[in-house]
A and B are shown apart, each in its own frame.
Chain A
Amino acid sequence: MTTDWALRVSSLGKIHGSADLRALEDTGPDIGTAKSAITGSIVAAWDVGFEVSPGEALGVIGESGSGKSTVMRCIAGDQPSTSGEVHLRTVDDGRTNVLELDPSARRRLRISDLAVVYQDPAEGLRLNVTAGGNIAEALTAAGWRHFGRIRDRAAELLERTEVPHSRMDDLVGTFSGGMRQRVQLAKALANEPPVLLLDEPTTGLDASVAAGVLDLIRNLLEETGVAAVVVSHDFAVIEMLTTRCVVMNHGRIVEAGLTDRLLEDPHHPYSQRLVGAARA
């Protein structure tokens, strides 16, 4: 039985404003707010922890403002965290807390240790560059220097994410939202990262387009064996993609469990409300 993790997050915290820890006393799900009256700061996330194994997808669900995207951004290195540890199996065999790496080393992780797919494709892509060029950016960052091989690899990735070959040399800015998301996935997977973070990957897309992208992600997760974290407010997305998930509310994890269990037997009052609302 294997429970070896590819990504381990523990005690992750992010406070906006004063780092005065008294803010923890009057924030959180029990208080019903993330903004501290004592210190005026916002506890966007606190004491967040989970592990994800290779081939496994973990969901982070919550409403907007619950802190789920903050958690993702702290792991990705897009935002500095206030506290906590993040370990990647591929970095020093998991011994190094990557939050303590200098910013430059931290950014380097994004080349091939950790990839992110954002809700807004403009965050993960350059819209004024072609689909192939966007993938070339990931590949050249990892040291690829052979034009033909870069082309071949880009074509292969785009095929895998169901982007028509005829559009490989078109600017991503001319693509539809769903197609941009497919290119973003192709770019994210370019260097076969062991860990993939997806932040609301289908939010904002038309329902039918979202379904297609969701199918694609599910297939990719199954085929690549990547360890994935899926951040979403949508139970349908979480149900389709993940086997386990955590529920966040006002910056804290209120419940964690197998995804089917959380949907059918939610324990925390907040989870029950959330599931109830989704089922209604």
Chain B
Amino acid sequence: MNTPLLQQVLDRTTPVDDSPASHLEVNFGLLDEYSKREIRRAILTAVAVPGYQVPFGSREMPVARGWGSGGLQISLAIVGPYDVVKVIDQGDDEGVNAVNLRRLIVSSTGIPESTTPEDSTLIQTRHRIPEDPLDERHTLVLQVPVPEPLRGVERDMRELARMHAEADYARMWVSLYEDKVRNGVITRTTGYPCLVNGRYVIATTPIPRWDVPRLHRSRFLALFGAGREKRIYAVPPHTDVEPLTFEDVPFEVEVTPGASCRTCSSTESFLVEIPGATAGDGGHWVCSDSDWCRRNRERLQHPSRGDRS
């Protein structure tokens, strides 16, 4: 009866010696190997059942719950010594949350970081999908504050579980119907509810509607982590992601006619507004994806240099 315990101690997975983090005091990726294994199992389930919210034993992380603890657990559970990490918040590599999380990932693993998707393999994000097209090399980890898309129509968790189990989404449709009746347009902003693989409705984290179409039949794997609510769900590559919309009411993304990025002049990226300091100053727009914006600007200034920065 004692052997399993001893065996567990002896079997405890340790990072391989040549890993960049072998000199660190903490375990590679901060979490102990059992925890990582457990989280990976949840991820595998999530990939196997696209859109299903897999409950998992979310660990307390060195960031507050609601600050990306779910995304961080996913990243740390799947990160390997040869990964290159990019972390963004609102599309910005320099956002405070992005900096904090990137520091934790890099310092606990020793892996290199990048701001360019081209060079990255693991991209953790809060509220955006990078403008660059992502592909098979990329795993996108999205931080999810509220994973339950149906919470607005139902509070009882037992009933919520039943609704998902039976694909009973009529009340979600009713809320969209009521929205359109009352307001003339569908007023959902970010985190638009989508049907994944024709089966489960998910909350697309609070990414803007602009980003939603890029989840549809994507080439990359998207993993959604909600640490506080202890859920992981996934959109595997080449999976249908359809925003819930009526056949005769087109899905609308955020577009402001005439707006362009003041820095790179782009009209084809997701723009955020910089309000003017005074009432008279009309303000301006900039790309939310700061790295894409920088490269776009360089591309315009030095067309000969090509795509890479």
Binds B, one of A55-63, A129-137, A217-225, A248-256: A129-137
Instruction: Tell me the smallest distance from the CB of B200 to a CB of chain A, in Å.
Output: 15
- CB atoms of A137 and B247 under 8 A apart: no
Cβ-defined partner of A140 (8 Å) among B162, B170, B248: B170
Q: What residue in chain A is nearest B172 (Cβ atoms)?
A: A140
Q: How many residues of A contact B (CB 8 A)?
A: 21
Binds A, one of B139-147, B174-182, B211-219, B265-273: B174-182
Residue B32 interfacial (CB < 8 Å): no
CB neighbours (8 Å) of A169 from chain B are 181-182
Q: A145-B246, A146-B247, A148-B248 are in contact. Are A133 and B178 (CB under 8 A)?
A: yes
Q: A104-B165, A107-B166, A137-B171 are in contact. Are A147 and B246 (CB under 8 A)?
A: yes
Please, how many angstroms separate the alpha-carbon atoms of A48 and B168 in the complex? 32
Residue A101 interfacial (CB < 8 Å): no
Cβ-defined partner of A136 (8 Å) among B166, B169, B174: B174
Q: What residue in chain B is nearest A108 (Cβ atoms)?
A: B166
Q: A129-B178, A169-B181 are in contact. Are A146 and B168 (CB under 8 A)?
A: no
CB neighbours (8 Å) of A107 from chain B are 166, 168
Instruction: Tell me the smallest distance from the CB of B205 to a CB of chain A, in Å.
Output: 24
Cβ-defined partner of B181 (8 Å) among A104, A108, A133, A149: A133
Please, how many angstroms separate the alpha-carbon atoms of A135 and B178 in the complex? 11
Q: Which residues of chain A in 76-107 are interfacial with respect to chain B, using CB atoms and an 8 Å cutoff?
A: 104, 107
Instruction: Tell me the smallest distance from the CB of A130 to a CB of chain B, in Å.
Output: 6
Instruction: Tell me the smallest distance from the CB of A135 to a CB of chain B, in Å.
Output: 9
CB neighbours (8 Å) of A209 from chain B are none
Please, how many angstroms separate the alpha-carbon atoms of A237 and B168 in the complex? 35
**A 107-146 binary contact with B (CB < 8 Å = 1; else 0):** 1100000000000000000100110111011101100011
Q: How many residues of B contact A (CB 8 A)?
A: 18
CB neighbours (8 Å) of B180 from chain A are 147
Residue A150 interfacial (CB < 8 Å): yes
Give the residue among B162, B171, B174 with the most A Cβ atoms within 10 A.
Answer: B174
CB neighbours (8 Å) of A140 from chain B are 169-170, 173-174, 177
CB neighbours (8 Å) of A134 from chain B are 174
Please, how many angstroms separate the alpha-carbon atoms of A136 and B153 in the complex? 15
Please, how many angstroms separate the alpha-carbon atoms of A249 and B248 in the complex? 53
Please, how many angstroms separate the alpha-carbon atoms of A149 and B246 in the complex? 10
Determine the main DSSP class of B at the interface with A.
helix
Residue B249 interfacial (CB < 8 Å): yes
- CB atoms of B170 and A150 under 8 A apart: no
Instruction: Tell me the smallest distance from the CB of B212 to a CB of chain A, in Å.
Output: 18
- CB atoms of B166 and A147 under 8 A apart: no
Please, how many angstroms separate the alpha-carbon atoms of A217 and B280 in the complex? 64
Q: What residue in chain A is nearest B179 (Cβ atoms)?
A: A133
Cβ-defined partner of A146 (8 Å) among B169, B170, B182, B246: B246
Q: What residue in chain A is nearest B246 (Cβ atoms)?
A: A147
Instruction: Tell me the smallest distance from the CB of A128 to a CB of chain B, in Å.
Output: 9
CB neighbours (8 Å) of A133 from chain B are 174, 177-178, 181
Please, how many angstroms separate the alpha-carbon atoms of A137 and B177 in the complex? 9
- CB atoms of A136 and B248 under 8 A apart: no
Q: A108-B166, A133-B181 are in contact. Are A145 and B247 (CB under 8 A)?
A: yes
CB neighbours (8 Å) of A130 from chain B are 178, 181
- CB atoms of B249 and A147 under 8 A apart: yes
Instruction: Tell me the smallest distance from the CB of B95 to a CB of chain A, in Å.
Output: 38
Give the residue among B166, B169, B178 with the most A Cβ atoms within 10 A.
Answer: B178
Instruction: Tell me the smallest distance from the CB of A265 to a CB of chain B, in Å.
Output: 47
Cβ-defined partner of A132 (8 Å) among B168, B173, B181: B181
- CB atoms of A136 and B173 under 8 A apart: yes
Give the residue among A132, A141, A147 with the most B Cβ atoms within 10 A.
Answer: A147
- CB atoms of A132 and B166 under 8 A apart: no
Q: What residue in chain A is nearest B178 (Cβ atoms)?
A: A133
Instruction: Tell me the smallest distance from the CB of A239 to a CB of chain B, in Å.
Output: 37
- CB atoms of A136 and B165 under 8 A apart: no
- CB atoms of B181 and A150 under 8 A apart: no
Cβ-defined partner of B170 (8 Å) among A141, A147, A148: A141
- CB atoms of B177 and A147 under 8 A apart: yes
CB neighbours (8 Å) of A145 from chain B are 173, 246-247
Closest 6 CB pairs of A and B: A140-B173, A147-B246, A141-B170, A136-B177, A146-B247, A137-B174
A-side residues, CB < 8 A to B, are 104, 107-108, 126, 129-130, 132-134, 136-138, 140-141, 145-150, 169
13 further interface pairs, Cβ-Cβ under 8 Å (given A136-B173, A169-B182): A107-B166, A108-B166, A132-B177, A133-B181, A137-B170, A137-B173, A140-B174, A141-B168, A141-B170, A146-B248, A147-B177, A147-B248, A149-B248
B-side residues, CB < 8 A to A, are 162, 165-166, 168-171, 173-174, 177-178, 180-182, 246-249
Pick 6 A–B contacts, CB within 8 A, sort by A: A136-B174, A137-B174, A145-B173, A145-B246, A145-B247, A147-B248
